[in-house]
Structure 1
């Protein structure tokens, strides 16, 4: 029995026929989604409501429902649109996957609400799957199997997403965090952490963390490839 595709995905994948009769709405789905993303970027996902969105657009809330059935449906379309096109990747799987990973990290930092909206749900939107497809393409011509390619890309995704989940927070919180931890941590209770703090290494330099993690992950993939040569 064929799987029923939700209406939102039908629209995003171009499977739903457009309107052919009746007056054309003054609002467009693209405009609604663009303004919704602006609100979520500026004030967070909790600040986004259909009423506030309609007010920002200068229309009535009911007019929005001609384009999206609910806020949940709106969030799906926002997640499809917000990342934009994935970057063009340089030759070589290591360089290409590195560019892809850092571009994805930048998406999460520009739109941290994506981490909340997409929690616990695999991507089904074309705007997100095109990023996965682009990442997989870096392994064209290598000896990795399809399963190994997917696992390598997903491991990279989990690393980037995990770092962003912790680090994509308001600056006042991230900048004060090391000082707060240093005030609370004592060597008798947290000896290993206290040693790191004493060496001045417990800092909010998240770019260094992601660079270190990606390089060590890629070293592991390199070892896997070397066993196949």
Structure 2
């Protein structure tokens, strides 16, 4: 969520300020035991159990045994709550690359860490992106990803673009996995059965003269068994990093 501005500069919502430690204490309300962390934890619990669509101020209030309007004394809007949920949902970043780790190993570690978070919490993919991240843990992820590229010949802009490309790939792969999982639940088919079934269907439909490239894929048995999703993720990640490696090489040569 983007911060609002006034004549003196950006103005953060109170709950976001609290997340950054810019307030000594959270926004107060009359209910003992109510707090911003408790509200966020309850909302994340709802999303983990029933998906993002189940999260509403009234549902979270019910989980806490409070009136809906009581939540607004701590969290100003649902958008504000979603921003805090994303921060909590991602959790701490994997940390900076260990000493002696080269840039490629560091980014691989970083990408797999994000991959694992998104595979565990598909609901994070459904939170609308309304602006650049401003919460502490999300910026921690950004910081640690950028630090993987320390010592390379890339410009600071190229480092940021590399990280955006990489996180876009991770999110795309997680979105695909999420949609396959949803389709599997809807049809009752196991995810491992989907690709072989697709191959059998194509074999009935395609004319080899019209689709010779697809016919060669079928003949090679590519679709006869389901690949490990992690293998597909690794293949794409390696190709992206190959491209970054080529760019780093060109920059170092100039």
Q: 1:107 to 1:190 in 2, by over 3 A?
A: farther
| Aligned counterparts, 1:75-114, within 5 A | 75-88=82-95, 89-90=97-98, 91-114=101-124
The Cα shift of 1:21 comes to: 8.2
Match of 2:195 in 1: 178
Structure 1 or 2, whichever has the larger Rg, is 2
The Cα shift of 1:197 comes to: 4.8
Match of 2:229 in 1: 206
Match of 2:55 in 1: 48
Secondary structure (helix, strand or coil) at the match of 2:11 reads coil
In structure 2, what is the Cα distance between the partners aligned to 1:223 and 1:21?
53
In structure 1, what is the Cα distance between the partners aligned to 2:177 and 2:147?
28
Answer whether contact 2:29 2:70 (CA < 8 A) is retained. no
In structure 1, what is the Cα distance between the partners aligned to 2:73 and 2:175?
34
Deviations 1:131-151 (A, max 9, x none): 011000011122221122112
Match of 1:12 in 2: 19
In structure 2, what is the Cα distance between the partners aligned to 1:22 and 1:3?
27
Match of 2:136 in 1: 126
2:33 equivalent among 11, 22, 26: 26
2:217 equivalent among 184, 196, 204: 196
Q: What TM-score comes out, normalization by structure 2 length?
A: 0.78
Structure 2, gaps ≥5 residues long:
1-6
Secondary structure (helix, strand or coil) at the match of 1:27 reads coil
In structure 1, what is the Cα distance between the partners aligned to 2:70 and 2:27?
18
Task: Give the root-mean-square deviation of aligned CA atoms.
Answer: 2.6
Answer whether contact 1:108 1:168 (CA < 8 A) is retained. no
2:206 equivalent among 181, 187, 206: 187
Matched, 1:219 2:242: yes
Structure 1, gaps ≥5 residues long:
none
